Structure 1
């Protein structure tokens, strides 16, 4: 690790991109992968999280994960690429960081070792991140997502302490506790460090910006990038009333993500013309219940209408 402090990812809206497959449910659809990345970049998305939870990293091999990062990096070389790292052992995580760095990632978004779930102490979590950050060739972001990590929560006090490490430059909080977002983003101790806080939930983008967060890494932005970028921009312009109006529409759209998960995210993106199929690899290879999906069709339509309106006004 260099003695100079690495910069955190710039403030803005990021998208955790899905992995697109062909209709056989196995083969990676690199053509769509690149076309979707260019679409996001062209519409204001600051960068991508690749091989996170939305990207089905757990269903791909290390070679496949690196190949997707590499293909997007070559196609959109100016883009900020954050690579997901979700291995339970320190050495395996470091090997993954080496792999994503060679493929073109500029940051490593690291999920805590979570095999033992809530039985893992906060002291153990601090040791895990500190050990990785001490040895990582890439700047590290802390990824807190209890839903995919055996219910494990990295407590705000732990994140606050880790924020002083020179190679830990931010966090992504993928759960809806605005209090936790506030305790980290508004902490005087965090503010003096080289550390940016991002929410993984676009439905609370505006509240998180209000308490000092720097943006979002939001999956539905993969279908409606202009909507989320506009909320972010309106906040910067202090146009809070209009930002709140769009935030309400985004929240309604996010109900799809809450109820249908990764497959629902991919279905929304597929509806915008991307990919042969929205299904993932086994076990994410089954259609959503169309009857249940139809209950939220109006929510999705609202997002589409805003997206089209913003496109016309550009």
Structure 2
């Protein structure tokens, strides 16, 4: 019998790639939708006929419990939540509610459905929590690994840190197979346009086509460990196939700057980024994180996972995809 997976945040970048990956492995895939969400108008429009759906809200424990009871999954991937860090400063309470307390509510739903308490030895549904490199924030060491100290510098990072710790707490308290993937930045042509990599590739395409002239960016020297989202969802799946639940850092282990991203994107469409990029101080974060760079050695050794695309290939792919999309209307 085919395994069942339940994905929260299925209409997002990661959710869409994960759904594709799991369908390719023969899974029955369920997606959790918010009550106002239309899957046919999202990144998973091409998959709708192959998926099953249930609706729930992350501030509503009863709806999450109902979703788990209805889908009866073997695996749950919790990818839902606010993910654009600057926005979380404007919506700090909502960010904490969804990215923090929402994780607790989902873990409680699993505990109830599986009948787990302090006297049980675990079993049942396996749970993946999408943790984030933003938990490291003001870093204490570089690169960062699974035991690096957390010092988050945004409401997003703080909420993700809570979600990470409560996931580990349920694993240790109830024997639940619950793991967190500490994901460093991962991008793709499906990335939201508010994120800097996609903002850059979209602007390069628009400028090439004469739809705009300038691109406003913040700190050009900011560096990130950027990888391809399609690779990272494969790591998520691998984490739930291991004999013992444990957490993993997922990243490339290499750093690249916003400036370098702009250079590659504009070169891909035949332009010089210096003719079009304007530095805007208003776009610089209130508390910029330090150097976030992964040490994915544990994932390499235990999961056999490694990224398939280089950074340059990733940005080129995104810029080319945006140019094609905008050229065809």
The two structures share one fold, judged by TM-score above 0.5: no
Higher helix proportion: 1
TM-score class, shorter:
0.3 to 0.5
Q: TM-score, normalised by structure 1?
A: 0.36
**What TM-score results when the alignment is normalised by the length of structure 2?**
0.34
